Chains A and B, each alone.
Chain A
Amino acid sequence: MNAENSPPDSPLVIHDMTVAYGRKPVLWNIDYVSPSRKLIAIVGPNGAGKSTLLKAALGLIPRQNGEALFFGQPYQKVRQKVAYVPQRSSVDWDFPISALEVAAMGCYGRMGWFRPVNRDAKNTALAALEQVGLGDVARRQIGQLSGGQQQRVFLARALAQDADLYLMDEPFAAVDATTEQSIVAMLQALRDRGKTTIVVHHDLQTVSEYFDEVLLLNLRLIAAGAVSEVLTPQNLKATYGGQLSILDAVGQRMSARQSVTS
C-alpha cells in the first residue's frame, strides 16, 4: 500500500520506514495505514521496535528512510491533532511541579509563546485529571503520587491537548488491574467520540478484549488489521517464533561489517 493512494484522512500513514540505532537496523520497511476511529494495539516481543515505531513516526528519533503522514500531512503541520504519551520514566520526579501543572502542559501548544498559563488551561487540565480519576490529588507534587497515578497524569496531559490521534507507549506498564480497566474504559470513550488511539501493548492475552485492531510487529510489520483476522496462529508464530533470528543476525553482521569499513 502506498502513501500516495491512501485515504487522506487516515490518522497515520507510514510508508517504507526503516529505522536504525547507530548502525543496527531496528525496523525494516514498515508500510502501514491506520484506520480512523479505532483502538489499535501494537504487539510484538521485547526488542521488536514497538516504541521505536511511534518515536520514529513522530520524528523523535531519526528515520533512515521513509515517511510518516498524520491526517495526510507531515507531523510538523498537525502537532496539535496528535498527542503522544511516552513511557513513564523520563522525567525528574523531584521536580517542583503539581499534577495540575503537568496536565496543563497539554494546552501549551494551543496557547502560543510568551503567554502565561491561564485559567482556561487550568480548567481544561483539571477536567482531564478528573476524567482519569485524579481530581482530588491535582495539587500534589508529582513525586508524591503512586506509579499508576503518575502514569495517569501523563494521560491527562494528552487528554488536555484534545487531539484526534493518541499515541501511547505502554500505558499499562506498572499499573494495577483496576487502573488498567479504567484506562481502557477511557480509551474506549475516546474512540466513541471519534478519536483514534494507537497503544504499544505487551500483553497478548488482553488484546482481543481491549482493542479493535492490532498491528503485529517484530522488526518488520508481520500483519495489521482487525483483531479477529490478524491474531491467527500463523501470524503469532511469525511474530514470536524463531525465524526472525535470521533477520536479526543479518542486522548484527551488517553493523559489524560497517564498523569495520567505516
Chain B
Amino acid sequence: MSYNALLVLSGTMLLGASCGLMGVFLTLRRQVLLSDVISHAALPGVAMAFLLGLWLAPEKAGTLPWLVGGSMFASGVAVLICFALQQVKPLWGEAAFGIPLGGFLALGVVFFSIIQQVPSGNAAGLEGLLFGRAAALSSTDVLLLGGLAGIVVIVCLLLRKELLLIAFDREFAIAQGLPVALLDMLLTGMTAAICVLALPMVGFLLVVALMVTPAAAARFWSDRLGLMIPVSVMLGMVSAGLGTLISGQLEYVPTGPAIVLCATMFFAISVCFGWSHGVVYQWWSRRLLKQEQLLDDLLRSTYEEFEAATAKLHSPTMAPAETGQQDLNQQSLDKRLSGVHPWAGAPEEFWLHQEVCFPKSIPTKDLSLLKQNAVNRGCLRIDSAGQWRMTELGWQKAKAVVLRHRLLELYLIEHAEFPPAQGDRTADLLEHALGPHTVDELKILLRIDFGQGVIRSPHPLEATSIREVSP
C-alpha cells in the first residue's frame, strides 16, 4: 500500500470515528433530520463555491478548501433558516427542517445543471461529492479534513459533560447557568463541520447514514453513554476503513456506498446480537432462562418423589390423621412408588420414573433438550441399565430449589395470607426470580433455622410426614 493510500485510509477512518461520535449526540437529541439539512444544503454551497472560484481564481476552482468553505457557508445558512422557522408559530418541527432541505437540494441541482454547461464543469470532479471518492483525495486534502475533524473530536470530548447535560435535561442545564444557546450552536456547528468534512468521502446523499447508523447500532450494545460512545466511534471508524479498502479494490464502486453498506451490516448485527437490546440475543437469553426454569422444575419434582418414597419406606405404618388425603391419592401414590422400585436408600441409586419426574406439560422435543441440558450440567446421568439417575450435584441443586420453593410458599401463606393451594401455584410462578440474597432474607423473615436440611412442604404432599430429609 502506498504512502498516499495509507494516509487516505487513516484520514477516512478518523472521519468515520468523528461521524460516529457526532451521531451519538445527534440521535440522543433526536436531531437526525438536522444532519440531513446540513448535508443537502452543502450541495448548492459546493456548486456556488465552484462557480465563484471560476470567476475569482480559475486555477483553484474545484479544489477542496474552496468546496469545503462553500458548503460550510451554505450549511450554516440552512441551519439558521431552520432554527428561525422553528420559532414561527404555525410551523411544526419536521416541516421547519424538511422545507429548507427540499429548497436547498433543488437549488443545488439547478446550480449543478448550470455547471454542466460551463466548459470546465465536467472536469471538476464534482460528481465525487455525490457518492464520495476517497481515492481521489490528495494528501493535503486528507490532512486538512483529518485535522479539522480531529479538532472537533477533541472539543466534543472536552465538553462531554456539558453536552450530555443539555441533551438530557435542558431545563436543569439552564438552571445551572450553562450557556445553553451557545452550546447548542457549538454542537450544531460541529455537526455541520463533520458533515461537510465527510462529504468528499461518503457524498452528500449518504453522510447522514454514516452519522446515524453507528450511533443507533451502539445503542443496542449498551444502556450507558460511557460505553455507547466508544462503540459508536469504533463502528464508524471500522466501517469507514473497510469501505475505503473495498472501494480501493473495486474502483468502479464509489467510497460512500461501500462505507455505508459496511455500517449497515454492523447495524444489522447489532440489532440481532447486541447484548443490551439485540433481539436475537434477548430471545436466546429468554430461552436459556426457560431451560433453567424447566431444570429447576425437574429437580424439584424428583426431590419430592424421593421424599415421598423415603417416607413410605421409613414409616410404612402412617397415622391416618397425618395423611388426610391418603385415600384420595392412594392410587397415584402406588403408581409412583412402583416407579421408584428398586431403591435401596442412597439418593444416587434412586432412579427417575419417566412419567412422574419429567414435567408432563412440555413438548417431547423440549423434553429431550431438557434431559440433555440436565446431563450437560451434571445433574442427571444414565446408568448402565439405561435408567435416569440423579448425580450428587443434582441432589445438591434439587435441595436448594425445593427449599427456595417452600420458603416462598410459606412466606405467601403466612405473610401474604394466601390459601395454601394458591400459595403453591403462585410460588411456582415466582420462585425462578428469587436470587440467593432473597432466599436468605426469607430464611430470616420466617425465622427458620434448619442447617443444611429442607423444610417440610406447607401443603400436604402425598405420603410425606417427615420434617427434614437429609440424604
Which residues of A are at the interface with B, using a C-beta cutoff of 8 A? 58, 60, 76, 79, 84, 86, 90-92, 95-98, 101-102, 105, 108-109, 111, 113-117, 141, 157
Contact = CB atoms under 8 A, between A and B. Distances in A.
B175 A79 contact: yes
Contacts of B176: 79, 108-109
A105 B172 contact: yes
A116 to B, nearest CB: 7
Contacts of B161: 108, 111, 115-117
A117 B164 CA distance: 12
Between A76, A90, A96, A117, the greatest number of chain B beta carbons within 10 A of the residue's beta carbon is seen for A96
Contact of A141 (B28, B169, B224): B224
B169 A105 contact: yes
Given A98-B224, A117-B161, A76 B177 contact: yes
A157 B165 CA distance: 13
Contacts of A101: 224-225
B313 interface: no
Given A114-B158, A115-B161, A117-B161, A97 B171 contact: no
Given A113-B162, A116-B161, A97 B168 contact: yes
Interface hub of A91, A111, A115 (most chain B Cβ within 10 A): A91
B459 interface: no
A160 to B, nearest CB: 12
Given A97-B168, A113-B162, 8 more contacts: A84-B175, A86-B172, A95-B167, A102-B168, A108-B161, A108-B165, A115-B161, A117-B161
B168 A91 contact: yes
Contact of A60 (B159, B165, B171, B219): B171
Nearest to B178: A108
B94 interface: no
10 contacts: A60-B171, A79-B176, A96-B219, A96-B224, A96-B225, A105-B168, A109-B176, A114-B159, A115-B161, A116-B160
Nearest to B164: A97
Nearest to B174: A60
Given A84-B172, A92-B168, A97 B177 contact: no
A30 to B, nearest CB: 19
A105 B224 contact: no
A113 B183 CA distance: 12
A228 B133 CA distance: 78
B175 A58 contact: yes
Give chain B's interface residue range (CB within 8 Å of chain A).
20 to 34
B154 to A, nearest CB: 11
B86 interface: no
B224 A97 contact: yes
Contacts of A60: 171, 174-175
Nearest to B225: A96
Given A96-B225, A115-B161, A116-B160, A91 B175 contact: no
B177 A109 contact: yes
A108 B175 CA distance: 12
**Chain B interface mostly:** helix
A232 B100 CA distance: 59
Nearest to B219: A96
A102 B172 CA distance: 11
A108 B160 CA distance: 12
Contact of A86 (B167, B171, B222): B171
Interface in B412-469: none
Nearest to B162: A113
Chain A CB within 10 A, most for which of B158, B171, B175: B175
A96 B228 contact: yes
Nearest to A167: B175
B366 interface: no
B278 to A, nearest CB: 15
B454 to A, nearest CB: 29
Interface in B120-176: 158-162, 164-165, 167-172, 174-176
A-B pairs, top 8 by smallest CB distance, nearest first, are: A141-B223, A79-B177, A114-B158, A84-B175, A96-B225, A91-B169, A96-B228, A96-B223
A262 to B, nearest CB: 14
Which of B28, B30, B165, B228 counts the most A-chain CB atoms under 10 A from its CB? B28
Interface in B1-48: 28, 30
Nearest to A83: B175
Contacts of A114: 158-159
A201 B216 CA distance: 40
Nearest to B222: A96
A74 B159 CA distance: 27
Contacts of A102: 168
A105 B165 contact: yes
A95 B168 CA distance: 7
Contacts of B162: 108, 113
A72 B265 CA distance: 60
Nearest to A157: B172
Nearest to A55: B171
Contacts of A108: 161-162, 165, 176
A92 B159 CA distance: 21
Contacts of A58: 175
Contacts of A113: 159, 162
B470 to A, nearest CB: 34
Nearest to B223: A141
A71 B158 CA distance: 33
Contacts of B225: 96-97, 101
A255 to B, nearest CB: 16
B166 to A, nearest CB: 11
Contact of A90 (B28, B167, B171, B177): B171
Contacts of B224: 96-98, 101, 141
B53 to A, nearest CB: 38
Interface in B321-341: none
A124 to B, nearest CB: 15
